[in-house]
Structure 1
């Protein structure tokens, strides 16, 4: 395990700790940079907007991923291979390419506006690009494999006999899903939700390309402080707040859902 931990330290822990040191050492020792974050309501608004965006993306990803995972769990052979390829092939392409594709679809003369006009839903092109809706849809598409795969793994581990036993006891398909399948798939659902939620908190490319300045997230704010204002100490403080937020959310999820028990571990 030594090479693994060495890589984690060099590629993650050391840069993060260096930034945290900058945030409390410059321009003067202390927590001045952190005080700036909580004194200005704009930064609190950005933090709340980022949390709301991550929550909406996670919910939409779950709504889209659950039917796909159910279909995968009930498929075999070429059908399963085809569905898996549809999920994984876009995942293997660049995030920048997928985001650029959404910008083409959502522009005023894009395919979506043209299709809505063709069926008579709208008379003139509407603004779809550079909106929060565009960011939510595109991020859900990019992050959906992180939701599909854990749910699929949990569903595949559910014995088929349980569904048959529920049917013998008189449960219909809907009741069997809500009272048997869904509770047993909950570890995969929770794992996928956490992965998507935490990834959404620090996502940068999609909000930067498809969002507007009025919909700035904490990742785009950090980039602005670095590139435009060259304010490394304040950007490092924002990184510290984001890291603390991610850690707190992870601990809260772990405390509420008790991952060890959900995965079947015993003390």
Structure 2
């Protein structure tokens, strides 16, 4: 291979070994590839890896017995962790159950009606979580719209306690996280060819059987993606449980906020954050490994 006379010996050697010259037209050379990836790696290191390392280091600053030992010996913190996981699971299930019919209708409709439904899904994403949480307070308080409607219909004689309950937290969080479940399921259903369902119908399957044996299994990757996103977001929710759940609904995010802003116990707050992070990773890995055995999940990631 011949090189221009102006090239130095080091440049010729680098080109000959392929550091600067790609092996084919479809692949970048090593040095240009590293230069292209370097800004992304720098942002990842500064914005994620460094704060995460500082967080884990801070959790050990007071000694493992003073932070992690306190968490594992006091049953209060285990109870808060259990409540957090339970609410996250309930919110995830309710989001998936409510999102699938909406995503199915969005995937099958066309024209203006499909745009109207899509707008109803996207508009809540443009609204602040704080505003939506206050909206549920207006609806569920003792003299709110729901209680006033129930009493006006003579269904109840006195206002029901709807606000500051676990059910109110699950309902409000489901409303906030519902678009994050609808969109992945919709994107999966939109890509499914109609020929599969049509072939099942031609072979004698009814609409319900065709849905259960064709549409549902093929849409499981979107269901899994939406469920994972909702579960991870629900584990770290702070504003909605604090407003709708009140002091009686203490989740891990609220506990961490209390340790940092009220008690100023930063090492213990870092330990709580690390435990929540590790538990989230473990749940995602176990959830994915368990459900990936199903044929419908083979295409996830």
TM class, shorter-chain normalised?
A: over 0.9
Deviation at 1:261, TM superposition (A): 6.2
Counterparts in 2 of 1:168-179, with a 5 A limit?
A: 168-179=202-213
Q: Spell out, residue by residue over 1:125-178, the C-alpha distance to the aligned partner (whole angstroms, 9 max, x if none).
A: 111111111110000000001100010111111110111111111111111111
Q: Match of 1:109?
A: 143
Q: Which structure 2 residues correspond to residues 105-144 of structure 1 after superposition, within 5 A? A: 105-144=139-178
1:101 shift after superposition? 1.0
Residues 104 and 110 in structure 1, CA contact (< 8 A), matched pair in contact too: yes
| Cα 1:261/1:183, change in 2 over 3 Å | closer
User: TM-score, with normalisation over the residues of structure 2?
Assistant: 0.83
User: What SS class does the counterpart of residue 25 from structure 1 fall into?
Assistant: coil
Task: Find the partner of 1:240 among 256, 265, 274.
Answer: 274
Alignment partner of 1:20 is 2:56: yes
User: Partner residue of 1:96?
Assistant: 130
Residues in 1 aligned to 2:125 and 2:205: alpha-carbon distance in whole angstroms: 37
Matches of 1:86 and 1:251, distance apart in 2: 33
- Give the structure-1-normalised TM-score: 0.93
Contact kept, 8 Å, 2:220 with 2:297, in 1: the verdict is: no
Unaligned runs of 5+ in 1: none
Extract structure 1 runs of 4+ deviating beyond 6 A.
none
1:135–1:206 contact (8 Å) kept in structure 2: yes
Query: CA–CA distance in 1 between the matches of 2:138 and 2:300?
Result: 46
CA 1:73/1:258 → structure 2, altered by over 3 Å: closer, same or farther? Answer: same
> How many Å separate the matches in 2 of 1:4 and 1:152?
30
Aligned to 1:2: 38
More displaced 10-residue stretch of structure 1: 34-43 or 158-167: 158-167
Greater share of helix residues, 1 or 2?
A: 1
- Contact 1:154/1:188 (<8 A) preserved: yes
Structure 1 pair 264–111 and aligned structure 2 pair: CA distance change class (3 A): closer
Quick one: higher RCO (CA 8 Å, sep 6+), 1 or 2?
A: 1
Question: Would the aligned equivalents of 1:23 and 1:31 in 2 still touch at CA under 8 Å?
Answer: no
The alpha-carbon deviation at position 254 of structure 1 amounts to 2.8
CA distance 1:170–1:203, change in 2 (3 Å) = same
Distance 1:31 1:264 in 2: 40
Partner of residue 244, structure 2:
210
Q: What does 1:42-61 correspond to in 2, within 5 Å?
A: 42-61=76-95
Q: Contact 2:164–2:248 (CA<8 Å) still a contact in 1?
A: no
Distance in structure 1 (CA, Å) of the matches to 2:65 and 2:299? 40
Q: What does residue 96 of structure 2 align with?
A: 62
> What SS class does the counterpart of residue 213 from structure 1 fall into?
coil
Q: Secondary structure at the match of 2:147?
A: helix
Contact (CA 8 Å) 2:256, 2:273: kept in 1 or not? yes
Q: Relative to 1, partners in 2 of residues 1:2 and 1:92: Cα closer, same or farther, differing over 3 Å?
A: farther
- Number of the residue aligned with 1:150: 184
Task: After TM superposition, give the deviation of residue 218 of structure 1 in Å.
Answer: 0.6
- Asked whether the equivalents of residues 221 and 297 of structure 2 are also in contact (C-alpha less than 8 Å), the reply is no
SS of the aligned residue for 1:130 comes to coil
Q: How many residues align?
A: 263
